[in-house]
Amino acid sequence: NSWLTLRTHLFCFVWQIAMIILFGVFIRYDEESDTHWVETKAHDNITSDIENDFYFRYPSFQDVHVMIFVGFGFLMTFLKRYSFGAVGFNFLIASFGLQWALLMQGWFHSLDPQTGKIFIGVESLINADFCVAGCLIAYGAVLGKVSPVQLLVMTLFGVTLFAVEEYIILNLLHARDAGGSMVIHTFGGYYGLAISRVLYRPNLHQSKRMQGSVYHSDTFAMIGTLFLWMFWPSFNSAITDHGDGQHRAVINTYLCLASTVLTTVAISSLSQKTGKLDMVHIQNSTLAGGVALGTAAEFMISPYGALIVGFFCGIISTMGYIFISPFLEKTLKIQDTCGIHNLHAMPGVIGGIVGAITAAAASESVYGKQGLINTFDFTGDFKDRTVLTQGGYQAAGMCVSIVFGVVGGAIVGSILKLPIWGDPADENCFDDEVYWEVREPTFHTSRTITPKSPMISSQLPDEEEEHQESIPPILEYNNHMIHKQQDL
């Protein structure tokens, strides 16, 4: 009935129809997923179906898929009353984003010049999930403070920017970044932080009662943490070279993450006078090692090298939650709901630097002649590139991702600041009741729960009816008292 409401549907419908048309024009099965594969096999002298790329990458793809939907979704359920928004909007924007990512990445990376088509296979699906990850990271910074339409817009632009910076970093600069320290985490982190800066809410304290976690919401968030942590080796190895490339990336990430857990616990305990552990740190900083090995995981960083990276990332990320987040909020006016600066942006930068150094330090004695060529893809136009030059280009890639994140985020943030998107009022942030039918009474104030700008009806007649049946009288009574007292 209000045109705000209409907009959510409109966006979903219009974009989905646009996707269908664009897919119809551009997207086709690649030769390994097409029924002509039987001819390809004969032509290329492939003896077994197991050589299909599907069998090299599908298990890793599914792990990545779980990270995107369960990992990111549940990691953000920690707020006491924003679990629906966390897991539900994550679901929505990931589903939208991956379609747009297949198109954008296809146009930039794999548009066939002869047919004008994009041919997709399992690796395209992984890359689409990766691309979406950048936007979900950004969501972490604005969690609870934006409307679903804003999230869709943010994802539309985020995926677009991602495809461009990825093209520059991977294709033009020919940097390596299989696990996306730079391309995914640094970009996504700064993109989200810049948006959050532009959308700064000076009166966010008005929804302080909805901030923080409750016991079970913290337990739900651990589901997200653990699936991210366990499957991160798949994330960093999903698109690395067949054989030793995938194998090595898994070993490095596995070790790095284990090391991160220990230093995260140590710093978390040190940070409290009582020596107690803080769930915020355990839920987030334990993952920083995976982020920081995104670039170097496929290199010969060696097992103890992976442990060292994890060691410092656990420390730095946890310190970030303790010291840097309050600083960002107070001084730089960046309200970072999930602390993505400490989990993605900063570890991403570390990952870029580690990658540049490891690349620059690579040698034939360690990699072997062919191994060096394979690992850094020193072929074609790049066959004469030295490892030192490669290190320089890695560092340049790092800068590109930061610039795209900050500048892109600032621009998109300005668009999202227009008073037309139906974002929640300051006192209703972090509250699922603004965008979801919530069947259970909460102890919220009796103020009307509504988006800030174009009004939508806040009478909840169905709800009230239900309450009167399902709540025992004494509790109902208490509830009324609460409302009264707070109305005063």
For position 111 contacting a copy of itself by CB under 8 A, the verdict is no
For position 9 contacting a copy of itself by CB under 8 A, the verdict is yes
Number of residues that bind a copy of itself (CB under 8 A): 156
Q: What angle do CA 251, 253, 259 make, to 5 degrees?
A: 105
Q: Residue 152: how many CB atoms within 10 A of its CB? A: 20
Cα→Cα distances 346→81, 161, 320, 441, Å? 28, 20, 9, 39
The residue within the footprint of a copy of itself, chosen from 113, 116, 202, 472 (CB under 8 A), is 472
The residue within the footprint of a copy of itself, chosen from 139, 157, 190, 254 (CB under 8 A), is 254
Q: Least distance from C-beta 467 to a copy of itself, angstroms? A: 11
Residues between 311 and 370 that touch a copy of itself (CB under 8 A): 311, 366-368, 370
Closest by CA position to 105, among listed 199, 215, 22? 22
For position 121 contacting a copy of itself by CB under 8 A, the verdict is yes
Binding window for a copy of itself (CB under 8 A); candidates: 340-348, 395-403, 407-415, 430-438:
430-438
The residue within the footprint of a copy of itself, chosen from 75, 76, 79, 81 (CB under 8 A), is 81
Q: Which is nearer to a copy of itself, 63 or 336 (CB)?
A: 63
Q: Least distance from C-beta 245 to a copy of itself, angstroms? A: 8
Q: Are 336 and 283 in contact (CB under 8 A)?
A: no
Q: Which is nearer to a copy of itself, 178 or 345 (CB)?
A: 178
Residues between 16 and 55 that touch a copy of itself (CB under 8 A): 16-17, 19-21, 23-24, 27-29, 32-39, 41, 48-55
For position 277 contacting a copy of itself by CB under 8 A, the verdict is yes
CA atoms within 13 A on the CB side of 282: 13
For position 107 contacting a copy of itself by CB under 8 A, the verdict is no
Residue 277 burial (10 A CB sphere; 0-12, 13-18, 19+): middle
Cα→Cα distances 280→163, 275, 288, Å? 32, 15, 13
Q: What angle, rounded to 10 degrees, do the helices at 346-360 and 187-198 form?
A: 150
Q: Distance (Å, rounded) from C-alpha 120 to C-alpha 194?
A: 33
Residues between 210 and 229 that touch a copy of itself (CB under 8 A): 212-216, 218-220, 222-223, 226-227, 229
Q: Distance (Å, rounded) from C-alpha 267 to C-alpha 317?
A: 10
Q: Are 267 and 314 in contact (CB under 8 A)?
A: yes
For position 92 contacting a copy of itself by CB under 8 A, the verdict is yes
For position 246 contacting a copy of itself by CB under 8 A, the verdict is yes
For position 379 contacting a copy of itself by CB under 8 A, the verdict is no
The residue within the footprint of a copy of itself, chosen from 130, 191, 321, 435 (CB under 8 A), is 435
Q: What angle, rounded to 10 degrees, do the helices at 148-166 and 3-26 form?
A: 30
The residue within the footprint of a copy of itself, chosen from 127, 150, 285, 286 (CB under 8 A), is 286
Q: Are 286 and 336 in contact (CB under 8 A)?
A: no
Q: Which is nearer to a copy of itself, 190 or 254 (CB)?
A: 254
For position 88 contacting a copy of itself by CB under 8 A, the verdict is yes
Q: Distance (Å, rounded) from C-alpha 440 to C-alpha 152?
A: 28
Q: Which is nearer to a copy of itself, 172 or 366 (CB)?
A: 366
For position 171 contacting a copy of itself by CB under 8 A, the verdict is no
Q: Distance (Å, rounded) from C-alpha 430 to C-alpha 210?
A: 6
Q: Least distance from C-beta 199 to a copy of itself, angstroms? A: 21
The residue within the footprint of a copy of itself, chosen from 262, 319, 332, 407 (CB under 8 A), is 262
Cα→Cα distances 66→94, 106, 177, 220, 469, Å? 12, 23, 21, 15, 39
Q: Which is nearer to a copy of itself, 208 or 333 (CB)?
A: 208
For position 193 contacting a copy of itself by CB under 8 A, the verdict is no
